[in-house]
């Protein structure tokens, strides 16, 4: 028997945006499957405290075997999947003069290929039920002149292209697909991988002049992953304090 409560899969859920999104979904009464390379205990504890189920899976979202693992977990534990948030990503800064092919490929595998692999894992449930919401994380850096990000920007531009194509293919199944682009933010990863001075400089260019936090992305993802988001698909929303205008 299929359970009544909705189920969401969130990648990169151990910290940062992924953790805040998982908690936001749990507050809406949605069960959460937290996927990450790292242990998600901290996220799961907060999710479970909100009265829903939280299940973790330690997995590399760029590993081709991840699709099958996610499908099996969903089948064994829930029998359904309503929401996928493709949030996991890395953002190493490297000028093109120092960038090697290995890092180029790694960034594309984790930031872009993973989104394809995760979609493959959840799709059987969404096409069967005739309902789904897919939200892919891109970045507002695509509209900026930040240096050392050619590999990152290429992968995040790919996310927007993937989102547009997928939205068309999946419309007939009642599935909407959208992307959300944060600004340079004080997430766990942002604090350790982005120069704080750069985050402050970017904040000064935003309409809302303070650095973004993990929580600032949640409202947009909540809308894009909700039943209300039935007529919006293939779109990218920059949730970035009003910096980049599409």
Ligand X SMILES: NC(=O)c1ccc[n+]([C@@H]2O[C@H](COP(=O)([O-])OP(=O)(O)OC[C@H]3O[C@@H](n4cnc5c(N)ncnc54)[C@H](O)[C@@H]3O)[C@@H](O)[C@H]2O)c1
Question: Is 86 strand, coil or helix?
Answer: strand
Residues 6+ apart with CB under 8 A from 68: 121
Of the listed pieces 72-80, 86-94, 124-132, 166-174, which binds ligand X according to CB under 6 A?
86-94
Would residue 131 show up in a list of annotated catalytic residues for this protein?
no
Question: Judging by beta carbons within 10 Å of its beta carbon (0-12, 13-18, 19+), is residue 152 exposed, middle or buried?
Answer: buried
Q: In the complex with ligand X, which residue's Cβ is closer, 131 or 166?
A: 166
- Residues 78, 125, 152, 162: which is the catalytic one? 152
CA-to-CA separations, 92 to 68, 104, 134, in angstroms, rounded: 28, 10, 25
Using alpha carbons only, how large is the chain's radius of gyration in Å?
Answer: 17
H or E stretch at 11: strand 7-11
* 103 part of the interface to ligand X, by CB under 6 A: no
Q: Please state the closest distance from residue 68 (CB atom) to ligand X, in A.
A: 15
Q: Does residue 243 interact with ligand X by CB under 6 A? A: no
Candidates 44-52, 54-62, 120-128, 169-177: pick the segment binding ligand X (CB under 6 A): 54-62
Residues 213-232 that bind ligand X (CB under 6 A): none
CB of residue 190 to ligand X, shortest distance in Å: 3
Size of the site for ligand X (CB under 6 A): 29
What interhelical angle do 101-108 and 150-170 show, nearest 10? 30
Spatial distance between the Cα atoms of 244 and 133, rounded to a whole number of angstroms: 24
Site string for ligand X, 56-75 (x = CB under 6 A): ----xxx-------------
- CA 20 – CA 32 distance, rounded (Å): 12
Single residue of 176, 187, 220, 236 touching ligand X by CB under 6 A: 187
Per-residue x/- marks for ligand X, 11-30, CB under 6 A?
A: xx-xxxxx------------
Applying CB under 6 A, the residues found at the interface with ligand X are 11-12, 14-18, 36-38, 60-62, 87-91, 110, 137, 139, 182, 184-185, 187-190, 194
């Amino acid at each position: 028997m299929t359970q009544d409560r909705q189920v969401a899969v969130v990648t990169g859920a151990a910290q940062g945006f992924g953790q805040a999104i998982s908690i936001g979904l749990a507050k809406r009464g949605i069960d959460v499957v937290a996927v990450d390379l790292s242990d998600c205990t901290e996220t799961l504890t907060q999710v479970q405290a909100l009265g829903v189920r939280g299940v973790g899976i330690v997995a590399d979202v760029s590993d081709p075997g991840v699709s099958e693992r996610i499908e099996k977990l969903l089948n064994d534990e829930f029998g359904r999947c309503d929401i996928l948030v493709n949030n996991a990503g890395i953002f190493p800064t490297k000028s093109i003069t120092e960038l090697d092919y290995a890092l180029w490929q790694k960034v594309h595998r984790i930031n872009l290929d993973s989104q394809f692999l995760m979609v493959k894992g959840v799709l059987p449930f969404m096409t069967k039920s005739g309902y789904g919401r897919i939200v892919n994380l891109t970045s507002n850096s695509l509209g900026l002149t930040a240096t050392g990000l050619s590999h990152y920007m290429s992968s995040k531009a790919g996310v927007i292209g993937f989102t547009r194509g997928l939205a068309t293919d999946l419309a007939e199944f009642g599935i909407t697909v959208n992307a959300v682009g944060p600004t340079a933010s004080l997430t766990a990863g942002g604090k350790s991988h982005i120069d704080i001075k750069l985050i402050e400089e970017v904040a000064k260019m935003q309409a809302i002049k303070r650095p973004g936090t993990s929580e600032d992305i949640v409202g947009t993802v909540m809308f894009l992953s909700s039943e209300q988001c039935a007529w919006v698909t293939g779109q990218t929303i920059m949730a970035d304090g009003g910096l980049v205008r599409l």
